[in-house]
C-alpha cells in the first residue's frame, strides 16, 4: 500500500512539469535623455530584441539580452538655452548586449501546488552590459547599467507574456553622436553621460524539463 501511494505521488509531481530555460523576443518603444533632450518621451523610437533566461527557481532568473533600437533628440524642443543660442539634433542606432538578474515578487509558475505558485508576478531587474552606438558617422562604445521593473504572466504552461520598463545608464557621452558637454558642466551625472529607456512587451517559450522529484509532506 505504501509503495503504491509513493508511486502515485511521484507520478502526480512528474505531471506538474517545470523548465530550466526560456527563449523569446521583445519589441517596444525607446527613449533618450542626454545633452539633446530633457524627457525620455520627447522623441520615441523603435526597440526590439531577443532574450535567453536561465530559471534556477520560481523567484529568480538570469537573463541574457540583445537589443537594437533607434534614438533621437533635438535641442530646439528644450526649454534650456545653449551657449550662443546654438541648436543640435541627432539620430543614432544603438545595440546593447548584457546580463541581468530578475527577482519575482511571487513564486511564479503553473503546477507544483506545494510551492503556492502564481500565474503572474511583478519583478525587478538590474544588470550590466555594453552599448554600441552609431550616429553622424561616429561609433561609440561604453559600459551600461540597466535598471527596471516589469510584470510577467503565464499564458499557458510554457508560454509567458511580459511587460517591462527599463532605464539604462551608459558610461559614454557619445550615444548621441558628436554632442558632448554642451552645458560645460563637468560634474553633471545626467548631462555628461547618456541614458536611454525601453518600454517593451515580450513573449517567451520555456524548454529543458527539470528532473522530477518526490516531495514528502507530513
Domains, the chain, ranges and CATH? 21-209 (2.40.160.20)
- What is the C-alpha separation between 190 and 176, in angstroms, rounded? 13
User: What pLDDT, on the 0 to 100 scale, is given for residue 66?
Assistant: 98
Q: What's the N-to-C CA distance of the chain in angstroms?
A: 17
- Of the two residues 189 and 98, the one the predictor is more confident about is 98
Question: Cβ distance 26 to 72 under 8 Å?
Answer: no
Judged against a pLDDT cut of 50, whether residue 93 lies above it is answered with: yes
Judged against a pLDDT cut of 60, whether residue 101 lies above it is answered with: yes
CA angle 95, 149, 171 (to 5 degrees): 40
> Lowest mean pLDDT: which of 8-12, 56-60, 146-150, 170-174?
8-12
- What is the C-alpha separation between 208 and 164, in angstroms, rounded? 25
What backbone torsions phi and psi does residue 117 show, to the nearest 5 degrees?
-70, 150
Judged against a pLDDT cut of 80, whether residue 15 lies above it is answered with: no
Measured over all CA atoms, what is the biggest interatomic distance in the chain, rounded to whole angstroms?
A: 90
- What is the C-alpha separation between 193 and 99, in angstroms, rounded? 21
> Lowest mean pLDDT: which of 68-72, 198-202, 210-214?
210-214
- What is the C-alpha separation between 172 and 74, in angstroms, rounded? 19
H-helix or E-strand containing 198? strand 195-209
CA angle 138, 34, 200 (to 5 degrees): 90
User: What pLDDT, on the 0 to 100 scale, is given for residue 183?
Assistant: 55
- What is the C-alpha separation between 119 and 14, in angstroms, rounded? 19
Question: Cβ distance 132 to 163 under 8 Å?
Answer: no
Judged against a pLDDT cut of 60, whether residue 116 lies above it is answered with: yes
> What are the pLDDT digits (tens) for 160-174?
999 999 999 999 877
Q: Band of the pLDDT at 14, cuts 50, 70, 90? A: very low
- What is the C-alpha separation between 132 and 136, in angstroms, rounded? 14
Judged against a pLDDT cut of 50, whether residue 13 lies above it is answered with: no
Mean pLDDT of 25-46: 89
| 40-49, 73-82, 182-191, range with greatest mean pLDDT | 40-49
- Of the two residues 208 and 13, the one the predictor is more confident about is 208
Amino acid at each position: 500500500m505504501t509503495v503504491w501511494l509513493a508511486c502515485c505521488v511521484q507520478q502526480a509531481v512528474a505531471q506538474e512539469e517545470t523548465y530550466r530555460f526560456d527563449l523569446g523576443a521583445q519589441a517596444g518603444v525607446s527613449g533618450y535623455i542626454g545633452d539633446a533632450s530633457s524627457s525620455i518621451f520627447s522623441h520615441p523610437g523603435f526597440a526590439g530584441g531577443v532574450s535567453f533566461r536561465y530559471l534556477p527557481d520560481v523567484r529568480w532568473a538570469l537573463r541574457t539580452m540583445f537589443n537594437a533600437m533607434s534614438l533621437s533628440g533635438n535641442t530646439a524642443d528644450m526649454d534650456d538655452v545653449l551657449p550662443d543660442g546654438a541648436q543640435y539634433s541627432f539620430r543614432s542606432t544603438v545595440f546593447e548586449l548584457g546580463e541581468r538578474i530578475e527577482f519575482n515578487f511571487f513564486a511564479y509558475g503553473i503546477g507544483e501546488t506545494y510551492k503556492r505558485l502564481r500565474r503572474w508576478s511583478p519583478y525587478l531587474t538590474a544588470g550590466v552590459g555594453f552599448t554600441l552606438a552609431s550616429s553622424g558617422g561616429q561609433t561609440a562604445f561604453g559600459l551600461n547599467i540597466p535598471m527596471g521593473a516589469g510584470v510577467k504572466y503565464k499564458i499557458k504552461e510554457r508560454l509567458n507574456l511580459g511587460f517591462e520598463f527599463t532605464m539604462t545608464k551608459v558610461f559614454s557621452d557619445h550615444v548621441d553622436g558628436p554632442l558632448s558637454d554642451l552645458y560645460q558642466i563637468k560634474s553633471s551625472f545626467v548631462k555628461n553621460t547618456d541614458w536611454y529607456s525601453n518600454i517593451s512587451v515580450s513573449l517567451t517559450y520555456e524548454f529543458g524539463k527539470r528532473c522530477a522529484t518526490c516531495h514528502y509532506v507530513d
